Amino acid sequence: MMVQKGTILIADDEPDIVSFMQQYLEDEGYDVITAYNGYEVLKRVEDSPDLIILDVMMPGMDGLSVCSTIRERVHCPILLLTARTTDRDKVQGFAAGADDYIVKPFGMEVLMARIEAHLRREQRGKRPIRQTSFGEVTIDYLRREVYIAHQMLSLTPKEFDVIQLLSLSPGQVFTRDQIYERVWGYDAIGDDTTVTEHVKRIRQKLSKETPKSYIETVWGVGYKWGLNARR
């Protein structure tokens, strides 16, 4: 009897594509939930999937709108499927809260590798670490939560991963490439635009609760967690 590896939600308006991916993933040991439009996705996320594969070009409510809508209450990785290949399209996808961007057409072996890489990183993120504070910011690495004055920030998994990487080495400068490789992995396909968008979103969320800047830009290099943030 095959052990279930996890639950994956596939959302695409093309039944043949959904059926093909579902069969492949089930053969690989995954439980699969399906949806054929954005409104169905909003209902199926209540089943708590471990990962979501979301087509961008769905009629009615498109994938970007769905991703943006569910991101604050869904903490699993979201992979966008699309035929769009421009940097602007990728920026929009990451800004909506996606964790990865897969361009059609794609091979199932590549998709499987990306799925398993994201799920491995999710499992690694669940390992106990420690809790620490920087000024009014408290980071709970075990629960993967960030608080400002006891108010928990709503962060996506990758946003927390970026904070974790930087805050565990305060003052150390990380290039955008280093952050991308450590958070998304060497096997991910993308560029440092992903990092820029995630840092931008993190800063926006922090700025709503505190005027202090915790992630500092080192121009021409990358980012660091500021030493002056610690009390």
Question: Which residues have CB under 8 Å from 17's CB, separation 6+?
Answer: 55
Task: Tell whether the model's pLDDT for residue 84 goes beyond 80.
Answer: no
Comparing 6-15, 49-58, 77-86, 125-134, the range with the smallest average pLDDT is: 125-134
Query: What's the mean pLDDT in 1-16?
Result: 80
The pLDDT, as a whole number, for residue 142 is 83
- The per-residue pLDDT for range 154-210, each reduced to its tens digit, is 999 999 999 999 998 888 888 888 899 888 875 555 567 889 999 999 999 999 988
Q: What percent of the chain has pLDDT over 70?
A: 90
Residue 217's pLDDT band, with cuts at 50, 70 and 90, is: very high
**Which residues contact residue 29 at a Cβ distance below 8 angstroms, ignoring those fewer than 6 apart?**
2, 3, 4, 5
Q: Residue 133 forms beta bridges with which residues?
A: 138
> How far does the chain reach from its first CA to its final CA, in angstroms?
54
In this prediction, residue 3 carries a pLDDT of 47
Q: What pTM was computed for the model?
A: 0.58
- What are the pLDDT digits (tens) for 89-146? 778 888 888 888 888 888 898 889 889 888 887 765 555 557 888 888 999 988 899 9
Task: Answer for the pair 162, 179: CB distance below 8 angstroms, yes or no.
Answer: yes
Q: Considering only CA atoms, which of 5, 56, 59, 7 is closest in space to residue 34? A: 7
Q: Which amino acid is at 39?
A: Y
Confidence of residue 1 (pLDDT cuts 50, 70, 90): very low
Query: Residue 100: what pLDDT?
Result: 86
Q: How far is C-alpha 46 from the chain's CA centre? A: 18
pLDDT of residue 150 exceeding 50, the answer is yes
As given in the structure block, the two tokens for residue 84 are 């769009």
Structure confidence at residue 230 as a pLDDT band (50, 70, 90)? very low
Q: Which of 89, 79, 108, 85 is nearest to 12 (CA)?
A: 79
pLDDT at 228 over 60: no
pLDDT of residue 94: 83
